[in-house]
């Protein structure tokens, strides 16, 4: 089989932390900030180069050239083409004397067969560096094409951790939504259309080389997408902070993301032209992405992936429905961590038991979801009792469940899905 091999870069594989979080010996909520890692604990922090700020899209041509691009493949979708941002990107690439080609045959929640078609397009046009401009779907599709370009085979064969063993082409990511964090993460989420489930591919090789975050690009998001991606960022911040793999380097990003989302998300819905709020949400997405790619996630994402795979539902919307229920469930395992999260969200919880702080946080998340128009239950998205057994079965196989702070059995998951209906 022919594989594109130009401009390849070797990157080390991921080490997924499996250590448990530090807990308060007394069981009482902490007063100060989260503590540093115990002596001797190994912590790794993965991050791409980041160019952040208004007008940073203009750096794309120079950035792509630095990565070795000559004929970069721009991965986007039809909605972004209408918004005009890919045209602006192409101008910058051509100004750098590059010869980009564009592939946009993509739908939300990228499908396995779509990415396979994108890979064939990549080979046909002898492309090199991959550039994604769009939301998480475009970015995940670009990662999938990169995997196939040098590793071959069926993309679904790489599900799991560190199954991508050969170097992939350089990745330049330009997010146009404020929440997925895919532009800085080691995750690639693909829909297996045969089984109607979302498959997680994870590994250090998938961390992009460079992310250009221009808050101007968020201004063309419809309000429902701003709400969905914003709640996704909030979920990333909360789940990574209580994850079994949390660490001090990721913690600071997680807490900052929670504060930024709760401060700015509602404003981006009410006042779409509010550039301060847009910049705040761009920062929130970045912080949340850096947190979860290094600390991984939990039950909310494990469950949400399955609902999204079954119904092709918006990922962030599903997160917004599930998150309050999972907060309550996890509070029994690590109550002290929820005091910090609630405080980051602007709630007055000093001296409050962790379980009570978690309940306030769960209510606060649900109120925010109400404010931005997210359904109150999964039933409104098409889930009913007949779906639960299947959703539970596939959730148990999701990699994100392994770092949830509280063990979740099939019976526990049934209870959580029913509560979320």
Alpha carbon dihedral 394, 396, 399, 402, in 10-degree steps, equals 170
In this structure, which topology does domain 49-217 adopt according to CATH?
Answer: Rossmann fold (3.40.50)
Domain 222-420 has CATH 1.20.1090.10: yes
Q: Is the pTM of the predicted complex or chain greater than 0.85?
A: yes
What per-residue confidence (pLDDT) applies to 2? 39
Domain boundaries, the chain: 49-217, 222-420
Q: Residue 41's pLDDT is what?
A: 73
pLDDT of residue 31: 46
| Series of mean pLDDT values for 10-residue runs along the chain (421 residues) | 42 40 39 59 90 98 98 96 96 98 96 98 98 97 97 95 94 96 96 93 95 96 95 98 96 98 95 94 98 97 95 93 98 97 97 97 97 95 96 95 97 98 97
Q: In what order do the strands lie in the sheet with 197-202?
A: 160-161, 197-202, 187-192
pLDDT value of residue 44: 85
CA gap 243, 323 in Å, rounded: 14
Q: Check residue 43 and give its pLDDT.
A: 84
């Amino acid at each position: 089989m022919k594989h594109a091999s130009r401009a390849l870069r070797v990157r080390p594989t991921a080490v997924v932390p499996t250590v448990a979080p530090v807990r308060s010996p007394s069981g009482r909520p902490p007063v100060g900030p989260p503590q540093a890692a115990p002596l001797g604990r190994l912590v790794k922090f993965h991050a791409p180069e980041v160019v952040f700020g208004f007008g940073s899209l203009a750096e794309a041509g120079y950035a792509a050239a630095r990565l070795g691009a000559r004929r970069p493949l721009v991965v986007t979708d039809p909605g972004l083409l209408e918004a005009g941002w890919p045209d602006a990107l192409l101008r910058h690439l051509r100004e750098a004397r590059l010869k980009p080609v564009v592939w946009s045959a993509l739908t939300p929640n990228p499908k396995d067969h779509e990415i396979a078609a994108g890979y064939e397009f990549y080979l046909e046009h002898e492309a090199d560096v991959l550039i994604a401009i769009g939301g998480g779907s475009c970015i995940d599709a670009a990662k999938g094409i990169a995997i196939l370009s040098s590793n071959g085979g069926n993309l679904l064969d790489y599900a799991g951790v560190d199954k991508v063993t050969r170097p992939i082409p350089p990745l330049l990511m330009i997010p146009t939504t404020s929440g997925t964090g895919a532009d800085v993460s080691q995750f690639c989420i693909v829909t297996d259309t045969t089984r109607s489930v979302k498959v997680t591919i994870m590994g250090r090789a998938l961390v992009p080389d460079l992310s250009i975050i221009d808050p101007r690009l968020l201004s063309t998001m419809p309000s429902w997408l701003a709400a969905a991606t914003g709640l996704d960022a909030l979920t990333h911040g909360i789940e990574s902070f209580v994850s079994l793999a949390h660490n001090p380097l990721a913690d600071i990003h997680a807490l900052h993301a929670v504060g930024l989302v709760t401060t700015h998300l509602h404003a981006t819905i009410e006042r779409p032209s509010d550039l301060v709020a847009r910049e705040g949400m761009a920062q929130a997405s970045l912080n949340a992405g850096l947190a979860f790619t290094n600390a991984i996630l939990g039950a909310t994402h494990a469950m949400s992936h399955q609902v999204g795979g079954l119904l092709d539902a918006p990922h962030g919307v599903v997160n917004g429905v599930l998150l309050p229920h999972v907060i309550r469930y996890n509070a029994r395992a690590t109550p002290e961590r929820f005091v910090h999260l609630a405080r980051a969200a602007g709630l007055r919880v000093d001296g409050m038991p962790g379980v009570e702080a978690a309940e306030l946080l769960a209510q606060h998340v649900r109120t925010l979801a109400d404010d931005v128009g997210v359904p109150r239950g999964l039933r409104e998205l098409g889930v009913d009792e007949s779906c639960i057994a299947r959703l539970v079965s596939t959730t148990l196989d999701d990699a994100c469940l392994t770092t949830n702070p509280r063990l979740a059995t099939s019976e526990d998951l049934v209870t959580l899905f029913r509560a979320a209906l």
